[in-house]
Structure 1
Amino acid sequence: MNNVSTAFGDSLIMLRRNLRHTLRNPLVVFNAVLFPIVLMLMFVKVLGGAFSVGEDYIDYATPGMLVMAVSYGLGSTSAAVNDDMRKGVINRFKAMDVSRGAVLTGQVVVTTVRCLVACAAIVGVAYALGFDPPADALDWLGVLGLITLLTFATSWLTVALGLAAKTAESAGLATVPLVMLPFLSSAIVPADTMGAGVRQFAQYQPFTPIIETLRGLLAGHPSSGDAIAAVAWCAGLSVIGYAWAVSTFKKRA
């Protein structure tokens, strides 16, 4: 019990430290919270009229924008983890007998919090633009749960990328595929409207079933097939990211 309470206390300390770093860095706040809002305004107000999706574009785009808000908050986490490793901060924590797990968990939790704040901002802007989903409280709870699960999974994968990278710059670049994947999914337009090759990639990549599950939940009629695939992808990414992060951390720390 004492070990558990110590690890929990160390995790809270790391969380507070990482939150302070986030608030002191305007670029991190912009990329994580404000830039997804800029993207939403651009796609809905500037480009939305050019897309035929069979419904109000704001209703179609909001689930994809939620996933984009998650992906855009990952780059700073990878760079921060790598920066701690290169500057010897981790070794100082070891000398202070700080739980190793707390160092990684603190980064995952602060990324999750940051992404959830960004998603809340996206929903607020969506309502201001006319978003009015028929989802009930249970559907919204499902949306929150899936977004949290997605953020948790991608956060561990991002931490692993940061630990494996040689420099902070390469750590930031390593997350670019995670940022770009939502653009090659059904976030902006239906996958069925895409050209051959791109269409198949969009249909079978991890973010599309997640977006479609969110879309179904917000519409009040989620698809069980998409939901199972979404949870499976999140679980798989979590396991891979966690195992990779812990293994790399043990080798480098």
Structure 2
Amino acid sequence: MTALTASRPPVAPSRRRSHVVADAVTMLRRNLLHMIRYPGLSLFTIIGPVVALLLVVFVFGGTLGAGLPGVDPEGGREAYIAYVLPGILAITIAGTAGGIAITISMDMTEGITARFRTMAISRASVLAGHVLGNTIQGIIAVALVLAVGLLIGFRPTAGPLEWLAAAGVVALIAFAISWIGLAMGIQAKSVETASNLPLILTFLPLLGSGFVPTDSMPAGLQEFARYQPFTPFIETIRGLLLGTPLGWNPALAIGWAVLFVLVGYIWSTAIYERKSVR
């Protein structure tokens, strides 16, 4: 028996990879079903940005839009819809971090993750399933918020290639934010506190170019707003949909997204492995 065991060939890397991929698909299916059965978090992710959009456009839009460079005061509200919607889309994506933080924290505290550890399931696939499910949820939320924007007067100038590029950027940002939100949720000590840390991500678009140009901010805040991650995210989406100058923003957006993925992956797997041995 020992000789037979010793002569057994190791599992090929390709088979290990296919095993992880199959497990990740299973975990993704589980998270999508969870999203359908418990739609409260998904609805909150959509309703919050929609309310914010309607509020800033119909209450503050006329005044804020008239203050934008080169805008006729008579068309302030229409101009502000075009300006603010990319920022609202960024807030929509950022808001999904709270949802994934809560769901992974529930799995960690309710013993579901512990049950997965006793099964022949790749640990990486458990995390990947959460991330992929949350990414899909973020894309759907962005599409619905964008649809509301179109109904109230948002008129993009993008062609097919720009729309495709914008969709790719949204998917990349949603993927990156999902990894950060996942790590924050695993780090949390309870479900009740899981959504606290992701609130930082929701506030960052407010401190960027999402609602007003960074040039209008005080000097210290202006520098922070220009170089924080969400400003290139917003400016890239704005440039693709509305034809504003892109500059280095796409490269910066991709760079920040890759950094988010790396930090979130290393952070989440390290905490997950540490909690797995308890």
1:10 to 23, 33, 43: 23
Deviations 1:35-63 (A, max 9, x none): 21111111112211120224511111111
* C-alpha contact (below 8 Å) 2:96/2:178 kept by paired residues: no
Counterpart position of 2:230: 207
Task: Quote the Cα distance in structure 2 between the aligned partners of 1:37 and 1:132.
Answer: 17
Which range moves more in the overlay, 4-13 or 123-132? 4-13
Q: How does 1:202-241 map to 2 (within 5 A)?
A: 202-241=225-264
Counterpart position of 1:104: 127
1:153 Cα shift?
Answer: 0.9
Deviations 1:172-215 (A, max 9, x none): 10111011111111101111112232222211211011111111
Task: Quote the Cα distance in structure 2 between the aligned partners of 1:42 and 1:25.
Answer: 27
1:220 Cα shift?
Answer: 2.5
Which residue identity is paired with 1:18? N
* C-alpha contact (below 8 Å) 1:108/1:155 kept by paired residues: yes
Task: Quote the Cα distance in structure 2 between the aligned partners of 1:9 and 1:45.
Answer: 47
Please state if 1:156 is matched with 2:182.
Answer: no
Q: For the structure 1 residues 144 and 222, does the alpha-carbon distance in structure 2 shift closer, same or farther, using more than 3 Å as the test?
A: farther
Counterpart position of 2:265: 242
Counterpart position of 1:22: 35
Runs of 4+ in 1 over 4 A off after TM superposition: none
SS in 2 for 1:217: helix
Task: Quote the Cα distance in structure 1 between the aligned partners of 2:173 and 2:16.
Answer: 29
Q: How does 1:80-91 map to 2 (within 5 A)?
A: 80-91=103-114
Counterpart position of 2:63: 50
Task: Quote the Cα distance in structure 2 between the aligned partners of 1:21 and 1:39.
Answer: 27
Task: Quote the Cα distance in structure 1 between the aligned partners of 2:155 and 2:240.
Answer: 13
Which residue identity is paired with 1:34? I
* C-alpha contact (below 8 Å) 2:166/2:237 kept by paired residues: yes
1:165 Cα shift?
Answer: 1.4
Task: Quote the Cα distance in structure 1 between the aligned partners of 2:245 and 2:46.
Answer: 27
Q: For the structure 1 residues 179 and 221, does the alpha-carbon distance in structure 2 shift closer, same or farther, using more than 3 Å as the test?
A: closer
1:221 Cα shift?
Answer: 4.6
Which range moves more in the overlay, 14-23 or 104-113? 14-23
Q: For the structure 1 residues 143 and 222, does the alpha-carbon distance in structure 2 shift closer, same or farther, using more than 3 Å as the test?
A: farther
Deviations 1:210-253 (A, max 9, x none): 11111111123542311111111111111111111111111112
Task: Quote the Cα distance in structure 1 between the aligned partners of 2:139 and 2:68.
Answer: 27
2:52 to 39, 45, 53: 39
1:119 Cα shift?
Answer: 0.7
Task: Quote the Cα distance in structure 2 between the aligned partners of 1:149 and 1:5.
Answer: 23
Counterpart position of 1:75: 98
User: Radius of gyration: which is bigger?
Assistant: 2
* C-alpha contact (below 8 Å) 1:33/1:117 kept by paired residues: no
1:140 to 163, 174, 198: 163
Task: Quote the Cα distance in structure 1 between the aligned partners of 2:83 and 2:266.
Answer: 35
1:136 Cα shift?
Answer: 1.0
1:186 to 204, 209, 230: 209
Which residue identity is paired with 2:113? I
Task: Quote the Cα distance in structure 2 between the aligned partners of 1:114 and 1:36.
Answer: 14
* C-alpha contact (below 8 Å) 1:136/1:220 kept by paired residues: no
Counterpart position of 1:93: 116
Q: TM-score, normalised by structure 2?
A: 0.87
Tell me, which stretches of 5 or more residues in structure 1 are unaligned?
none
2:189 to 140, 150, 166: 166
RMSD (Å), alpha carbons: 1.4
* C-alpha contact (below 8 Å) 2:97/2:180 kept by paired residues: no
1:6 Cα shift?
Answer: 2.3
